[in-house]
Amino acid sequence: MGLSTLPSCILLACRIRAGALLLLALLMTAPAWAMQKGSALLPGNNLSLPQDFSALTGVLAPSLRLSSPAPLQTDYAGMARALDAIPDAAMVRVAGPAVSVGRLGNKIAEATGANTLAVIYPDIGEPYRSVFAQIVSGIDDKSRGRVSHFAVGANADVGELNNTLRRQDTRVVIALGKQGAKVASALDSNIRVVVGGVLMGQENKARNLQVNVLSPDPALLFRRLKDLMPGVSRIFAVYDPRQNTWMMRLAREAARAQGLEFAAFEAQDLRGATNAYRKILGDANSSRDALWLPQDSTTVEEGTILPMVLQASWDRNLAVFSSSFGHVKRGALFSLYPDNVELGRQLAGYALGLQAGNKPPGMLPLRAVLMAVNLRMARHLDANISRPQNFDMTFPAP
């Protein structure tokens, strides 16, 4: 994604006048940039040049002490010699097709040996492409642009990526999504990894990594629940211990800190989950109880269990809230979902911490969140919705 084939080019980094850094890319054999038409590019990652060099050489002429830029507009070799004569210029010739890194900053970082961060993200289509673009923009913002970007597909050349990261002296990588995490797992062992943008993770596989899942922090969920339903004092949940033991531990700690009771039921198959929900729905007191639906593919099965639970929620006036955004549209009271740009900033902060020598904390829940509320269910439950400005998205849509 981004730049297509660069047959042969020169990358230049030089300081002009008051220390301003000028970054240029000069084609030596092709008359223009070869861009993929119709591609959705990440914000701020692209440089473009005119079809000829008239504008470029016009800007350079004063610094090169040229009375006129005309001689250099077609004499590319002469331009290269003139640029190379600048004392503070660093010029690197890149021959052959450009690696699929998507931005010239990667090449300049490689040339200068900068100890940069790198972000690896899936090269996929919409709507997920825009989501990852927003996360990456947050990463760039927090790290002030010292980031190399690598879009990876299913057949990514990990060896080539390793070599590039080694030349750039990259010591920390942010890996986004399942594909990014898969590629990062095959990198050199001395490269530290922050994983983000994944739905679930297994705690035993995250001991030497930092894995930031997209499941909201129970402490934030419980706090928002109390805002909407102040009378709730007990929360139920059903979970598969193979997926969510670590999340239930966080939930118990959060409930204790907020003065709530927490009752979690284990289930490892659909039958066990169904029985657990029937018991909860039979015992729950709607005036004081609520049911939390974690992100769990076993116990929150959407074909049978979810419709049963949401119908019971309406019939029995029982507050049901979820860790999955899509459940709010279907009738859950509320959910928390990612603030993508802020998530990127947080991931960059964690990566900079690892770069400074901090130890990876293992699994972390989502803490950069926005709130979605089902107003129809909220009114049915007589929930506190007196401050709708606190809601980032509401259903049904107005």
User: For 250-303, what is each residue's pLDDT tens digit?
Assistant: 999 999 999 999 999 999 999 999 999 999 999 999 999 999 999 999 999 999
Q: Is 310:332 a contact under the CB 8 Å cutoff?
A: yes
The answer on pLDDT for 213 being more than 60 is yes
CATH 3.40.50.2300 corresponds to the domain 216-337+370-395? yes
Averaged over 29-45, what is the pLDDT? 32
Sheet holding 362-366, edge to edge: 147-152, 117-122, 172-176, 192-198, 210-216, 362-366
Three-class secondary structure of residue 349 per DSSP: helix
- pLDDT for 106 equals 53
What's the confidence (pLDDT) of residue 98? 32
Neighbours of 149 (CB within 10 A): 20
**Residue 20: band (very low, low, confident or very high) from pLDDT cuts 50, 70, 90:** very low
Q: How confident is the model at residue 85 (pLDDT cuts 50, 70, 90)?
A: low
- What b-and-e string marks burial along 150-163, b requiring 16 or more CB atoms within 10 Å of the CB? bbbeeebeeeebee
CA–centroid distance for 326 within its chain: 19
Q: Does residue 189 contact residue 173 with C-beta atoms inside 8 Å? A: no
Token pair for 283: 């015992």
- Element counts in the chain: helices (H) and strands (E): 13, 16
What is the distance between the alpha carbons of residues 70 and 191, in angstroms, rounded to a whole number?
48
What are the phi and psi torsion angles at 115 (to 5°)? Answer: -80, 80
Tokens of 354: 């690892």
Q: Identify residue 205 by its one-letter amino acid code.
A: K
Give every CB contact of residue 285 below 8 A, 6+ residues apart in sequence: none
The mean predicted confidence, pLDDT, of the chain is 78
Reduce the DSSP state of residue 112 to 3 states and report it: helix
pLDDT of residue 18: 37
100-133 pLDDT, tens digit each: 444 444 554 554 445 579 999 999 999 999 999 9
Which of 387 and 273 is assigned the larger pLDDT?
Answer: 273
* Euclidean distance between CA atoms 285 and 123, whole angstroms: 48
Which of the pair, 231 or 19, is modelled with greater confidence? 231
Reported as a single tens digit per residue, the pLDDT across 51-65 is: 344 544 554 555 555
d(CA 52, CA 128): 36
Q: Lowest mean pLDDT: which of 13-22, 101-110, 207-216, 251-260?
A: 13-22
Identify which has the larger pLDDT, 16 or 362: 362
- Quick one: which H or E segment has residue 307? helix 305-316
Total residues belonging to the chain: 398
Domain(s) labelled CATH 3.40.50.2300 in the chain stretch across 216-337+370-395
**Percent of the chain, pLDDT > 70?**
69
Instruction: Report the alpha-carbon distance of residue 344 to residue 43 in Å, rounded.
Output: 14
pLDDT band at 6 (very low <50, low <70, confident <90, very high): very low
Contact 120, 180 (CB under 8 A): yes
**More confident of the two residues 225 and 116:** 225
